Structure 1
Amino acid sequence: MRCFLHYFLVFCCLSLSFNLYAQNYAGDSYEPDSEAKPVPIQLGTWVSRALHAGDGDWFSIRPASDGLLIAETSGDTDTIITLYRRNEIIAQNDDNGDDINALLAYPVQSGVGYTICVEGYDESEIGPYRFRVSMEPIRDSGEPNDVPSQATPFSPGSPRTAYFLDPDDVDWYRYTVPSSGTLVVYTEGIIDTLITIYDAADNLLAEDDDSGENSNARASARVSPGTVFIRVSAYDGQLGKYTLQALLYEPAKPDRFENDDTKELAKDISVGASQERNFTDASDEDWVRLRITQRGIYDIYAKAADNTLDTYLELYNANDELIDANDDWTGDVREGDIALNARLWLELNPGTYYIKVSTLSSDPIVISAYVLSVTNGLSVPK
């Protein structure tokens, strides 16, 4: 009997908890709302809502001026925001906000009515969240810059904020390069951008779509003194705001081991030692001679200083026979290490060996420093 009463009480508690949970998310004080009956939203004010199974919360707004409408959620509920104009979907976002929250930014017109729907990632996604709509004015001092002859002056260290207000819009920028180096141009924002870099003779230097963060573009080009042109566009005619940034890196200076570009010019490394090295460019090869006096397991490691540098290791014997090679070490990654580092962990007999270190990074490489080390490998490196 006691057992029965115990389980009965547990069942009742669980049922009560479930019912309370269901009641909490069966609706909120704004329900019922729908596409036909949206809730008017006040700019700049957070509204607390709750989603229940299969729910969609609808909001309406009629801007008093042109501008960039920013709709966002906050909380622990995975939300999707959809923006409508005259029953037509014009923008949608899932996870551009913090963590699993949605963030949408879209240019809107004065006096036009818009509706916004906030839903869970799927029908089982329920719970509380907060929602806010704000507006910011659109100021794009670079326009018109739709062709190279209208290109907006631009330089590293002076970011430019711009907008795409038309699906066919493209933005052109020009930069007067003061000295040779590697130019890195990238965008920041929540729209999917494309970047193309040309020299003054209209030769293509670089182009990129998604190498930056969150579908942003990031293009790198080796440049010489003179003028370069940068073309920025949005994928599939997306509208919205972006910020253009750039960095100019000086050419890498040869390290103290150069010239070591061939086996005959290889410099020595001893077991237990490490060497700070760098590639002068993406075609550079570093050759290193290793003398082994005792049979054993050895750990040869090329650890890059930058997470975009992809090192590649090859090990040869004195007869030019390839013993082993590695691109990306697939063992357990130690704290601070990255998957692009090359590593060899193998048993070697006494003799003379040659290590060839190169990079698989695309040309040009920005930060080319790495550390080469050789140690006794008594256990698999982690």
Structure 2
Amino acid sequence: MNQKLFIPLLICCALVLTACQSTPQASAASRVVAGSQPVSLQPGQRVRGELTSASALNYKDGSRYALYRINLQQGDAFRIELSGSLEGTLALYNDLNELLISGSPLHFQAPERGRYLLAVSGKQSNSFGPFNLLMTPLELSSNPSLVVGEAASGWLEMNGFRSHTLQISERGYYQIDLRSSDFDTLMLVTGPGGYRAEDDDGGDQTNSRIGDLLQPGEYQVRVSAFETASGLYTLEVQAFDIREGADLELRAPVQLSGWMRQQQDVYRLHIEQAGEYLIEMQSAVLDSFLLLEGANHFRVEDDDSGENLDARLLVRLEPGEYRLTARDYNGGSGGYQLIVQQR
């Protein structure tokens, strides 16, 4: 080969080879840098961000993400909310890049002091848009004792349980609610005279609820998860002013408090004057159901015509005695108000 032609050709090949090697490396480096600079996030702080096509790429599913650094002390508990037009989710990692928890909103209590990493990710490869992050400290109750009429928040560790003490000073009807958006709750209550009551899903959704006639004394309320889980929970104890052994005979107009313990409560309703009557069963804990029966095969019933899940009957009644049945549609227990009035 002609030497004058060989040297320029060698130089051209070297330049082409250099370009082929450097371009992908530079592109990859720019992608890594874009996702490796976490922004600091402090408890009580609200920050704004945005995921675009230039954000760091998750090579597994094509979604984009942004990182935030959080420094925590052992026992720090907080809630992180993600809002905005971005359809996204949150994931929290420790300094070993181990996934600790994911979801939105996110509740977490630091098991040890250290630096944690929060990832804001799009749910899909085409999930883009601005977002807001709000990190709020959680106020957990340090007192294991429960107070009637108040709510207390606590943290359930993985594979663990929490016990609270409840002091009942007066015999009466009480309702204990255990709520959590992080796990399927399970509640056990034990007390004087061998008292024992357990509930899984007696409350709303997967929350627990126990309502009963309690004697004075000290009770233990045990909180756990139906399956292996951890997270934030709230316990609330309410007392109901209900006349025990109240007469089941009613005369309109009347308003009384009841407590659903059995499958149903049955009342004898006396109507002295013909007219249109409004009969309501109101409850914050029951899915109310009313059935009214009378002479000559008279029968009318209602489930959810009132507010929320309350039952309401608006019916014309003639003088006489009627049978009024009140119950929970799903067989639950708890307090309710029964109202009968002429319109």
Partner of 1:56: 64
The correspondence for 1:339, drawn from 299, 309, 315, is: 309
**CA distance change for structure 1 residues 180 and 355 in 2, over 3 Å: closer, same or farther?**
same
CA distance in 2, matches of 1:88, 1:248: 45
Relative distance call for 1:281 and 1:245 in structure 2 (3 A) is closer
Residue type of the partner of 1:285? V
Q: Distance in 2 between matches of 1:122 and 1:292?
A: 66
Counterparts of 2:320 and 2:125, CA distance in 1 = 61
Match of residue 370, structure 1, among 318, 338, 341: 338
Q: How many equivalent pairs are there? A: 297
How far is the alpha carbon of 1:223 from its aligned partner? 0.6
Shift, 1:78, TM fit: 4.2
Deviation for aligned residue 1:108 = 4.1
Q: Choose from 178, 185, 190 the match for 2:176.
A: 185
Q: Which of 89, 94, 105 pairs up with 2:99? A: 89
User: Which of 300, 303, 312 does residue 280 from structure 2 map onto?
Assistant: 303
CA distance in 2 between counterparts of 1:280 and 1:249 reads 8
Specify the alignment match of 1:71 in structure 2: 80
Report deviation, 1:81.
Answer: 1.2
Q: Per-residue CA shift, 1:198-231, capped at 9, x if unaligned?
A: 223444234244625x854333222112222211
Task: Please state how far the C-alpha of 1:317 moved relative to its aligned partner.
Answer: 1.1
- Larger radius of gyration between Structure 1 and Structure 2: 2
The aligned runs of 1:246-265 (5 Å cut-off) are 246-252=237-243, 258-260=247-249
Q: Is the 8 A contact 1:303 1:341 kept in 2?
A: yes
Q: Residues 285 and 73 (structure 1 numbering): CA distance in 2 closer, same or farther, change over 3 Å?
A: same
Corresponding residue of 1:227: 218
How does the TM-score come out when normalised to structure 1?
A: 0.63
Structure with the largest fraction of strand = 2
Correspondence for 2:196: 204
Cα distance between partner residues in 2 of 1:52 and 1:343: 55
Partners of 2:220 and 2:116 in 1: CA distance: 38
For residue 110 of structure 1, what is the aligned residue in structure 2? 113
TM-aligned CA distance change 1:34 to 1:359, over 3 Å: farther
The 1-side partners of 2:334 and 2:140 are apart by: 35
Whether 1:328 and 2:303 are equivalent positions in the alignment is yes
TM-score, normalised relative to structure 2: 0.69
| Counterpart-to-counterpart distance in 1, 2:155 and 2:268 | 49
Q: Secondary structure at the match of 2:224?
A: strand
The CA deviation at 1:89 is 3.3
Gap runs ≥5 in structure 1: 1-30, 95-101, 143-151, 261-265, 376-382
Task: Find 2:269's aligned residue among 288, 294, 300.
Answer: 288
Work out the CA distance in 2 between the residues paired with 1:224 and 1:35.
Answer: 64
**2:85·2:131 contact (CA, 8 Å) conserved in 1?**
yes
Equivalence for 2:56: none
2: CA distance, partners of 1:225 / 1:352: 44
**Please, which runs of 5 or more residues in structure 2 have no aligned partner?**
1-29, 54-61
In the TM superposition, what is the alpha-carbon distance from 1:247 to its structure 2 partner?
Answer: 2.1
CA 1:203 to 1:233, structure 2 compared with 1: closer, same or farther past 3 Å?
same
**Alignment equivalent of 1:127, drawn from 122, 126, 129:** 129
SS at match of 2:227: helix
Two-structure CA RMSD over aligned residues (Å): 3.8
Identity %: 14
Is this contact kept in 2: 1:82–1:91, CA < 8 A? yes
